[in-house]
Amino acid sequence: MMYLPFRKSLISILLIISSTLFAQTDSVVIIENHQIAINGGIYSSVDELRNNKPSKIGEFTLLSPEQVTKFEQEGKIAGSFFTSGQFIWLGNFDDSGRFVRIDPSLIWAYVEDEVVYVQHDGYLNKLSVVGTICYFSNYDAKFIDTSKTKERAYLFNINNGKIKRFSRSNLLNILLNDIELYQKFLQEEAKKKMDDSLLDYVNQYNERNLFAFPE
């Protein structure tokens, strides 16, 4: 059984060097001079995350599917069952030792152990890039069975909370907010000198348009 304590975490903006569309875990490089201080806990909306004010703090437990099955068989699940966030069993234990699940519809993001997760498609997805524009792959979701799904990558705009598929067109729409970087992308693409991958441009955008979480 894993207990997840509340803590104030330091989340580093990550620079992922990749020659393919999707990032791999072993390609993460930390830019040490740019750190984001973000509070641990449960965030019920993108506004809470943006303002660094989780609505729930404390000790939480995240159950695996196997633990859920075991606890159900032993009658150790309290409260109602929820249809949303069907793969997210985050909560705590009452005085009788029964697991009390937090309604997944109240979980927009979750931060623990210096990792930020956002809810998408019923899973908690780990952000591989944290900044003005965040990046995640569904293969980094908690307890997902990668043998039964295709890998999909997403961009998450922390300013408006929109999550979109990671693609050239969606990236260009973001780069329009930084005309110099947008023009660089088009020029390199036209010359077929795309030394930087699409994901590199996400990191360049974040470096040029830093987002700081308030304390």
* Alpha-carbon gap, residue 157 to 127, rounded angstroms: 12
Q: Is the pLDDT of residue 206 over 90?
A: yes
Exposed e or buried b per residue across 85-112, where buried means at least 16 C-beta atoms within 10 angstroms of its C-beta: bebbbbbeeeeeeebebbebebbbbbbb
Q: Are 62 and 104 in contact (CB under 8 A)?
A: no
Residue 35 main-chain phi, psi, to 5 deg: -120, 145
Q: Is the pTM of this model over 0.85?
A: no
pLDDT in tens, 38-95: 899 999 999 999 999 999 998 898 888 888 888 888 888 886 666 555 788 888 888 8
- In sequence order, which ranges of 60-167 are alpha helices (DSSP H)? 65-73
- Helix or strand (DSSP H, E) at 119: strand 115-120
pLDDT of residue 110: 95
pLDDT of residue 157: 94
The pLDDT, as a whole number, for residue 156 is: 94
Alpha-helix residue ranges (DSSP H) falling in 125-211: 168-175, 179-190, 198-208
Residues 6+ positions from 138 with CB-CB distance below 8 Å: 120, 121, 123, 125, 144, 149, 151, 152, 153, 154
Element (H, E) at 137: strand 133-137
